[in-house]
Chains A and B, each alone.
Chain A
Amino acid sequence: MSAIVSPAAPVPFGQRLRRSLVGRLLRRANGAVGVTIILVAITVALLAPWLSPHDPNAQNLMARLKPPAMLGGTWTHPLGTDHLGRDIASRVMYGAQVSLFVGFVTAFAAGIVGTTVGLVAGFFDGFVRTFLMRLVDVFLAIPYILFAVVVVGALGSGITNLILVLALTRWVQFARIVYGQTLSVREKEYVEAARVRGNSRMRVLLAHVLPNVSTPIIVVMTLEVAFMIIMESALTFLGLGVSPDTPSWGWMLAEGKDYMSLAWWLTVVPGLTIVATVLGINLFGDALRDTLDPRLKL
């Protein structure tokens, strides 16, 4: 009888690691850099209470607008202080908590909602599909800032409503992608075969269709985290996001903009942090997509 295709001999661990998803990811330049940046960001966010040199909300009017250590300041405040004497480095670290939290949670929430809608719209014909895809069209037409203004006006500001706004804005990205994928997977023979092998429609949807549309979802979700971080900063900057008591990158930008000529580091430091974090996530997302794509024997 013919042998199975894969080698019977055990593959050495080093080779398994190299060939695994993580290994292939890290071999790419963008993968390695992206993963590093993300890990740094997460670590900093989690360990902020221990890593930050000062209390981010501690005001010290004696030490206002001090420049970063490299540019004439002292190492007490390595990245300088803002207009209320608060240490910028500490605020950046604590700000990471907000941004990353919002980013991941909203991306996840948008992903769940969008995937469900896309899956159902793609799988079922007729009224369900038409209705859901028209819903997608409606949401696509809403500018998110306007939406945020309305929601905040009605329900007040704060992190929960911020998450609500962002999730309700971005779920359509997932819905469209999953819809397209579902339409094509639905035609595959194994989906029809699954029916003939006795599976209920629901089981076919969940056990056969969903796992096979999930690969692009992972990549999109990664990239959406980056986008959410930017949107959060923007909304907070406009006063529609988290409350002013919470240190967040958006607030730092908002408060610092008045001091651009005097103390540019108030905006540039949080701005660069946002850029770096988003860049890291995007690089990781690209690397993930490239790694998963040709391997799509799965």
Chain B
Amino acid sequence: MPALARDSNVLLNIDNVRKAFSVVRRRGLGVERKALRAVDGVSLAIRAGESFGIVGESGSGKSTLGRLVLGLETPTSGSIRYRGANVRDLTSRGERAYWREVQVIFQDPFSSLNPRMRIGGILAEPLCNFGGPVPGGHKARIEELLRLVGLPEGAAQRYPHELSGGQRQRVAIAAALAANPKVLVADEAVSALDVSVQAQIVNLLIDLRERLGLTYIFITHQLNLCAYFCDRIAVLYLGQVMEICDARRLLEDPLHPYTQALISAIPAVEPGRRRDRIVLSGEIPSPIDPPPGCPFQARCPRAIDKCGHVRPALVDVGDSRRIACHVVVEELNVVPR
């Protein structure tokens, strides 16, 4: 059992979680049921107070993983434990205590707020649900939350369509904070915003982190942003973890071939600095009925025969870094524990 999981500081333990959806396809006169393996054996341990980034492209399963952590989906196999208790038990049959501790900020500021409710109402809901009714309403706390996210008091009377995208996202953050959570899952929380507004929101999240001691799970496809915001990053490909590493170190010295290709694909803002681009051939394969072995081997420039048959395990290669790759692990001469 890897050392990290025994750490008492671990808030969230994701243990070999798999989530498969059944996909029905027409085949002749009948149907054919296939499994879409959105998350295919992910193990992570997230410590209290850290900002943990989950990075991947389409089909990586990062959003599904986020929903599993939030309890909006249940794993097909494996478990997710929060402070030792199984999230599945914490969210079943009307139990809502889990969400007192773990909250979410979704991606789309235009559809994450009920267009029929005023901002004040949206914020009052979690306050009532988790804190119980208060005589005179929650007016004071609502104002406090609005201040916390940088919105003027008058915002409580508005409807979502009267606010801009950035302002709506602030409301979403305020609604998440209303429950006084310990963990915030940000699922592409800034991807749909203008660049100038993205920076505002990210800075807000950083301020809140310092003020409230929050733990973040930051899901995104923007690796640069993730490395800026997070302490550690897990890189996902086709539902599996490829590499987990300290954020800055990952960017400076990626070891997994996929991470290397990913980083080299990111366009650089300095014109003329054409990186030695590792161009990946082919397309991102579909998570339906994936082939055995390493999910990346079809496009990997360093794949060997073994990669097509044996799935690489996530191996601790020292320096708090773990990699799932036969070639690299062998190169580093590490004995898997």
Task: Point out residues on A near B: beta carbons under 8 Å.
Answer: 1-6, 188-190, 192-200, 207-208, 211-212, 297-298
Q: A192-B72, A208-B114 are in contact. Are A4 and B163 (CB under 8 A)?
A: yes
* A192 contacts B129, C-beta separation under 8 Å: no
Shortest A184–chain B CB gap in Å is: 11
Interface size class of B (residues with CB under 8 A): 35 or more
Chain A residues with CB under 8 Å of B161's CB are 297-298
* A6 contacts B108, C-beta separation under 8 Å: no
A3–B166 CA distance with the chains assembled, in angstroms: 12
Chain A residues with CB under 8 Å of B104's CB are 192-193, 196
Shortest A141–chain B CB gap in Å is: 25
Chain B residues with CB under 8 Å of A194's CB are 114, 125
Q: Is B103 an interface residue (CB 8 A)?
A: yes
Task: Point out residues on B near A: beta carbons under 8 Å.
Answer: 70, 72, 94, 96, 99-100, 103-104, 106-108, 111-117, 125-126, 128-130, 150-152, 154-155, 158-159, 161-164, 166-167, 172, 175-176, 178-179
In this complex, what residue of A is CB-closest to B125?
A: A197
* A197 contacts B111, C-beta separation under 8 Å: no
* A4 contacts B167, C-beta separation under 8 Å: yes
* Contact for B130 among A1, A193, A198, CB less than 8 A: A198
Shortest B164–chain A CB gap in Å is: 6
* B111 contacts A188, C-beta separation under 8 Å: yes
* Contact for B106 among A5, A193, A212, CB less than 8 A: A193
* Contact for A189 among B106, B117, B151, B162, CB less than 8 A: B106
* B107 contacts A189, C-beta separation under 8 Å: yes
Per DSSP, chain A at the interface is loop
Q: What are 11 residue pairs bridging A and B, where the CB atoms are less than 8 Å apart in the complex?
A: A2-B164, A5-B163, A193-B104, A193-B106, A194-B125, A196-B70, A196-B104, A197-B99, A197-B126, A198-B179, A207-B117
* A189 contacts B108, C-beta separation under 8 Å: yes
A63–B100 CA distance with the chains assembled, in angstroms: 81
Chain B residues with CB under 8 Å of A188's CB are 111
Shortest A162–chain B CB gap in Å is: 36
Chain B residues with CB under 8 Å of A211's CB are 114, 116
A197–B102 CA distance with the chains assembled, in angstroms: 10
In this complex, what residue of A is CB-closest to B96?
A: A198
Chain A residues with CB under 8 Å of B94's CB are 200
Chain B residues with CB under 8 Å of A4's CB are 152, 154-155, 158, 162-163, 167
Shortest B37–chain A CB gap in Å is: 21
Chain B residues with CB under 8 Å of A3's CB are 152
Q: A4-B158, A195-B72 are in contact. Are A190 and B112 (CB under 8 A)?
A: yes
Shortest A105–chain B CB gap in Å is: 27
A212–B117 CA distance with the chains assembled, in angstroms: 10
In this complex, what residue of A is CB-closest to B162?
A: A6
Shortest A199–chain B CB gap in Å is: 6
* B115 contacts A1, C-beta separation under 8 Å: no
Chain B residues with CB under 8 Å of A6's CB are 158, 162
A196–B128 CA distance with the chains assembled, in angstroms: 13
* B126 contacts A1, C-beta separation under 8 Å: no
Chain B residues with CB under 8 Å of A208's CB are 114, 117
* A-B pairs, 10 with minimum CB distance: A198-B129, A297-B161, A189-B112, A197-B126, A211-B116, A189-B106, A190-B114, A6-B162, A189-B111, A188-B111
A212–B128 CA distance with the chains assembled, in angstroms: 22
* B179 contacts A197, C-beta separation under 8 Å: yes
Q: Count chain B CB atoms within 10 A of each CB in A2, A192, A200, A297 and give the residue with the most.
A: A2
Q: Other than A4-B158, A190-B111, A298-B161, give 7 A-B pairs with Cβ distance below 8 A.
A: A4-B162, A190-B112, A197-B175, A198-B99, A198-B125, A198-B179, A298-B115
A1–B111 CA distance with the chains assembled, in angstroms: 24
* Contact for B115 among A2, A197, A212, CB less than 8 A: A212
A211–B104 CA distance with the chains assembled, in angstroms: 23
Chain A residues with CB under 8 Å of B162's CB are 4-6
* B125 contacts A199, C-beta separation under 8 Å: yes
Chain A residues with CB under 8 Å of B176's CB are 197
In this complex, what residue of A is CB-closest to B70?
A: A196
Shortest B186–chain A CB gap in Å is: 13
Shortest A208–chain B CB gap in Å is: 5
A200–B129 CA distance with the chains assembled, in angstroms: 9
* Contact for B178 among A197, A200, A297, CB less than 8 A: A197
Q: Count chain A CB atoms within 10 A of each CB in B72, B106, B114 and give the residue with the most.
A: B114
Q: Count chain A CB atoms within 10 A of each CB in B107, B117, B178 and give the residue with the most.
A: B117
A173–B38 CA distance with the chains assembled, in angstroms: 37
A3–B152 CA distance with the chains assembled, in angstroms: 8
In this complex, what residue of B is CB-closest to A212?
A: B116
* B116 contacts A5, C-beta separation under 8 Å: no
Shortest A217–chain B CB gap in Å is: 14
In this complex, what residue of A is CB-closest to B147?
A: A1
* B178 contacts A5, C-beta separation under 8 Å: no
A266–B151 CA distance with the chains assembled, in angstroms: 68
* B129 contacts A197, C-beta separation under 8 Å: yes
